[in-house]
Structure 1
Amino acid sequence: MTTCKVVDESLEAEHAALLSFMYLSPIGILRSTLSGEVDMLNPLSVQLLMPLAGPGGVTNVFDSLSNVAPELRNLVSSFKAERGSVCEGHRIVLTPARERSTVLSCNILKVNDCTLMTTLTDISRQVEAERWARQNESWLAGIYTNVNDFAFLTLDASGRVDSWNTSIEQLTGYAEVDVMGQTLEQFYAPDDVDDYRCPEHIALTREEGWHVQECWCQKKDGRRYAAQILVAILREDDGEFAGYSVVLRDVSERKITSDELTRLLTTDYLTGAMNRAHFFKLADKEVERSKRSGKPLSFVMIDADHFKRVNDTAGHQAGDKVLTQIVLEARRSLRSIDVIARLGGEEFCLMLPATAADGAMLIAERIRATIEALRIETEAGQLAITVSLGCASLTNEIASVQDLLAVADKALYTAKDTGRNRVEG
């Protein structure tokens, strides 16, 4: 009897120690089933997930994170080992913002055939520090590479070239007579120019003191190359604004690797659409750019009609094929400067720069009709699908990414409520 009592007390002590650890832990800790049903979590997990989970609370970790990390459920379901690490350091962007995002690092451990342990760590400060380090490292490292990869020049206060040196001719092939008095558009590849890239670069430099952009440029002989262009403000000795200094750098050799890395970091793994985190980062910049330039900007929300029915009757593989096909068909109606992003589940958003409300409605209707006419071959047979769409455009009252999404989402649900397979704006 005494032995049993000692064992019981030992177990109670261990349980108390575990609870104490869970409560005081500086990271979020959850225990769940393989399907995500939570049976134990600590206060920090609740704090991190409650804004996403809503009034129902954190009952299923995958449901709570479905709008920001829909891939987690697939990562777990595709992990076939009896136990082991499903993912380590998987980054989840919770609240995209122009200056700083809230980012979590997620680790998932499969303990046995019915239990997962998940940890969530707020790494927002680390991510911000990494971003600045990468930007600074890129340019500091470049200083020590072959000077033939660089051109140095200056612009006057109006943004036109007012100095020339041999580094420009070595990199671009342009002589002094070709560039003096020209803007930076002189160096851009003709098929990679929009009306407000150069003015925007100058405007951001005036706001921030310096600014870097990446784009395709073209040498005098017609050869294209990937370039980074750093523009910084020049001042007189008395501090008065005098113009701009420019460093033009050829980064073609690293662009292939960089492009693949960018694709992995910014693309939805299933559909090939832009992922949610990168969309918000890009959308904030696009809104600010539209405000500066005075050009219109429109968003279109797209939602697959009766998508749950597709999954329930034809299976998840058919559902995945439907989502992929929606993206492919939508892209046929978009320009190169337009964006389609997957915000979560079966919900997508189009970002249409330089497009007013009437133009957005036309594009949305064209996409709706194209998808309605589509027939998708699956193992369960041929599927016909439709989508509902809601449009919103930037105005004085609808002046932020959040405003645009809210108005477009409201229009989307009007389309749903009035029969689906419709466009509302």
Structure 2
Amino acid sequence: MWYNGFLDLSAWQLVAVTLLMTHVTIIAVTVYLHRYSAHRSLELNAGLKHFFRFWLWLTTAQNTREWTAIHRKHHAKCETVDDPHSPVIKGLSTVLRTGAELYRAEAENPETLLALVHAQGEVERLSEREQLLSSMLVSVNAVLWAIDWETRRVLYVSPAYERVFGRSASLLLADHREWRNSIHPEDLDYAEHSLARVLEQGAVEDREYRIITANGQIRWLSDKCYINQQVEPGEPVIVVGMAEDITEKKQLELELHRLATTDVLTQSSNRRHFFECANQAFDTACAQGAPLAFLLLDIDDFKDVNDTYGHLEGDQVLRRIAESGRGVLRRGDLFGRIGGEEFAAVLPGCAPEMALQVAERLGKEIQALSFSYEGQAFSVTISQGLANLSEADSTLDSLFARADAAMYEAKRLGKNRVIAG
């Protein structure tokens, strides 16, 4: 097959050689890189160069005919070949011959076989890990993201983005403002400022904010982010993070908070929560020198209602009075049930004259309520005690005590009235 350092082939063998030389060349290059980086390098490198030249040259029909003609010269056993393509042919021959020699020499080398088996095993393990990571990213209910801080270009976002945000990931990758547009307006400033703190702190833990999905649904996210460590100076600052959907957790927290702070029967604030909020309002009013009114009200003759119409009807009276109280009071006022038939209200920023008007209107609203039991109609009234914040009130307790005394005075004077104390 070899003659004068050249490959001697007839034309019909051309296709077989073309297919074979690719496989042999890959083997030769692999073995060369593994074992012969400093051995036969010049010869093999030159051969590889000529081989690739030959590969491109052979792609036309005209060159194929020239290849056949050259082989005829070889077949005639010419001592020299003056054809300009003879270096190409010799390069191919060198690659095939050198590759075959290296392959034969290394085929029985245990180290080479072990290295090839080890490399194949590493490739398989990496492939398995990649598949595992891909499946985890698809199944996890958290959005992994990375952004170039200087250019604000989103570099990566995990598949969960479309599931959690209900928006196209391609739009976010094209424009980082898509993330900003999805944040609830009330949480936008917090979300942006807390993200900017990552440059100062290196990491920001547990940012919680709301987003609005494409279909208008509100979701809660817990977002953790940090700066990816720069390997070389001058590298771009990459901020990476993980946003977890905590909507169900937040809903559960809100429900637990509601149960802990709300009177089950009337859905008003319970005694503990009412006085917590009332003390905060008292401290704020004292610090700002603002007016504050405390209103205490009690249902007149409520025991008679329970005894005459039953406790179920008495519960209905309590619920209707609570609804009236919430309806009459302003937004920002506090209202709660603090005892059996006793309710209280705190009116921040309400001057004495206005507080008295609110109390009188509330009394009229409740008196106008109509109840019925087995065809018998009845109504109820309330007695109210009103106390306005003064310099003598050092604590909320003193304000409450004055309102309580005024309420009992209203009872003593005939009920169904407001007394300011």
Calculate the TM-score normalised by the size of structure 2.
0.44
Structure with the higher helix share, 1 or 2 = 2
Higher Cα radius of gyration: 2
Structure with the higher strand share, 1 or 2 = 1
